[in-house]
Structure 1
Amino acid sequence: MAITMRDVAQAADVSIKTVSNVINDHPNIKAETRERVLLAIEKLGYQPNLSARGLRSGRTDVISLIIPDLKNAYFAELADAVMTAASKRGKVVIIEQSGGSRTRELEILHGPRMRMVDGVLYSVLGLSQEDAGLIEIPTPMVLLGERIFHGPTDHVTMQNIEASEAATDHLLQRGRTKLLAFGAHPNEVIGSAGLRLEGYRRALQKAGLDYRDELAIDVQSWHRSDGAQAMRHVLESGLEFDGVVAFNDSIALGAMRVMQDAGLRIPEDVAIIGFDDIDETRYSLPTLSTIDPGRREIAETAVAMLLERIDGAAEATPAREFEAGFKVISRESTAI
């Protein structure tokens, strides 16, 4: 049977009203009483009824984070950063996975669970710029990612073009001139792959090198297995290259394993840099150079913007665009 507020009150030897005051963070509660109630809640595993709480107060202190895929390490670490930022402000985060499906992204956004949350952080993958009008909902929202710019809501993202240009330049400065753009999506303009390919092209142009279509390697899904498979195809084709600008760390790690299995030395034969600075890059062999895209800054800024909208502090402010700063992290995979 579900644990009720009455059960907590009995276990803590207080009134139901006192339990309610503790849950709603009422200030006039003795520290000893608050601690006793919290211990009872933890021991019994009590879960407050957020819907009922929202009906009484107009707030649930819950925000929703909609992301494509927790299997992708970047989104898993972004979710962790968002939860940390929200927790510091007394908020709880509910995570929804869309799978990158346009239909699913819209279903979640317009579904009944939106009534259970105060606001939404929404990282789209299936939607496009043409869908900007479909994301207007009554619930306050901050958009994440690179699919919709200058839409109807606040938008927090990263400097994809500039960061990819810096990653490419990092390899060019080390004498590498035949660089794979690893993770390209043909014909994509807006989106992580399209923007990072543009940064790659800009770095080549600045260095006086021609862009070569055959060096732009299509990797549709950005998981480690996809990077491994794409690199096998590259090696089987006999394409010559001495550097890899991978559009995320997961496909870089997959590609590294395949290259090493084929007898290529990293970085002596091929230097490689990733993008995202996921935790595993610090422990790969060799450690992976990468781009830190400002994930923590993205999370902190997005949560702060969302809470301003929820509290009405930014009610008259037009939709805002924010790009986090980035850093090139040089490690063993490019160190010569």
Structure 2
Amino acid sequence: MPVRLKDVAQHAGVSVKTVSNVVNEHPNVSVGMREKVRAALLELGYRPNLAARQLKHGRGGFITLAVPELDSPYFAELAARLSAEATRRGYLFLLDITDADPAQERLVLSGMRAHMVDGVIFSPLATSAEEIAERTDDIPLVLLGERRAPTQFDHVAVDSVAASRAMGEHFLEQGRRRLAAIGREVREGTASVRLQGFSEAIAAAGLELPPERVVTVAGFGREEGYRGMQELLALPADLRPDAVFAFNDLMAIGALRACHDAGVQVPQDIAVGGFDDVHEGRFHVPSLTTVAPDLGTLTTAVLDLLIARIDGSTAPPAHPLVPWSLTVRESSAAPSG
């Protein structure tokens, strides 16, 4: 027999109304009482009756995450965290892989792929801010990512400009002077804001980032990082970098392999840094210096905003920035001598 709210209430020694308030995320419950009821829900294995919720509220109980790919460890970890938290809050979690295809992203915005879905979390890659602003579908939407987005939608992001500036400053503090970057050139994309922050750090030190040391690649994977580093290593001695910032960890890991294959020592000859703090980078040899976004805070912020919209919130659009930290590991230790 399925566990009922009444069963949970008896187990926790509280009223059915209190249990209902906790299940439905109502704010008028004390922290201590909320934790007590959540413990009872977990212990008894309570699952919300989504069919009853739909009849009562006109909702399906589903949230969709639309992302360009799931091969990326960053998106995979983000999806896992969002799924677990959405489930804890009583929603079923769906994934929509757009492959960064403009036509697929337009379907997400139009609602054509969102039947029976209460809300959408969308990380666009091929769609401009102007195109997103033209959206007419009324399904609640929260945007993810550092690219420029229209202000009329909730948008959760990491301050990639500040984080990338910190990476550049770290390299400079380690005595590096010939800095370089590897990234995909995407209109209004993440790469452009990460290049901006990195360039600001270099300019503030009175140095230059010549175009030869900014390598544009076709994707965000290990292969692109490998080829980008090969291009940098082929530069004349006076241009060859002593520090390289790849705009995500997968490219940085590919760059590390290119250094290994070329007999270039990291970090003695070249320091390498990435962005995202994927697990693979922690166990690579050398371990990867990276920018680590706070995915826990990001997950909470996204679902708080989306569920509030689902519940009818008319608050002004929110644009919170997620905390991040610069995690220094072996790939950027101070050069010897």
Q: Is the TM value for this pair above 0.5?
A: yes
**1:234 CA drift (Å):** 2.7
8 Å contact from structure 1 (residues 54, 116) kept in 2: no
2:139 alignment counterpart: 139
Q: Provide, for residues 154-187 of structure 1, a one-character-per-residue CA deviation record: whole Å limited to 9, x for no partner.
A: 110110100000011111100111111111528x
Deviation at 1:136, TM superposition (A): 3.8
Give the corresponding residue for 1:4. Answer: none
The CA RMSD measured in Å over matched residues stands at: 2.5
1:188-242 Cα distance to aligned partner (Å, 9 max, x none): 4x32100001001100111111231111111231011111122223333445111
For residues 84 and 178 of structure 1, the distance between their equivalents in structure 2, rounded to whole angstroms, comes to 43
Q: 1:191 aligns with which of 189, 213, 218?
A: 189
Which residue number corresponds to residue 278 of structure 1?
Answer: 278
C-alpha contact 1:136 1:152 (8 A) present in aligned 2: no
Give the 3-state SS of the residue equivalent to 2:69 in structure 1: coil
1:1-336 to 2 correspondences below 5 Å: 22=3, 26-29=4-7, 54=54, 57-185=57-185, 188=187, 190-238=188-236, 239-312=239-312, 314-315=313-314, 317-336=315-334
SS of residue in 2 equivalent to 1:321: coil
Moved more, 53-62 or 295-304: 53-62
- What is the distance in 2 between the residues matched to 1:148 and 1:130? 10
SS in 1 for 2:115: helix
Answer whether contact 1:143 1:155 (CA < 8 A) is retained: yes
Distance apart, 1:60 and its partner CA: 2.2
Contact 2:180 2:209 in 1 (8 A): no
- Give the conservation status (yes or no) of the 8 Å contact 1:159–1:293: no
Q: Secondary structure at the match of 2:304?
A: helix
The answer (yes or no) to whether the contact 2:234–2:240 under 8 Å persists in 1 is: no
TM-score normalised to structure 1 length: 0.82
Q: Is the 8 A contact 2:142 2:154 kept in 1?
A: yes
Secondary structure class of the residue paired with 1:135: coil
Alignment CA distance shift 1:108-1:150 (3 Å): closer
* 1:148 positional shift: 3.7
Q: How many pairs align? A: 300
Q: Following the alignment from structure 2 to structure 1, what is the Cα–Cα distance between the partners of residues 155 and 319?
A: 5
Letter in 2 for 1:27: L
Where do 5+ consecutive residues of structure 2 fail to align?
12-40
Percent sequence identity is: 35
Shift in CA distance, 66/226, structure 1 to aligned 2, threshold 3 Å: same
Whole-Å separation in 2 of the counterparts to 1:136 and 1:170: 44
Structure 2 letter corresponding to 1:226: E
Q: Could you tell me how far apart the structure 2 residues matched to 1:104 and 1:176 are?
A: 43
Q: Report the CA distance between 1:61 and its aligned residue.
A: 2.1
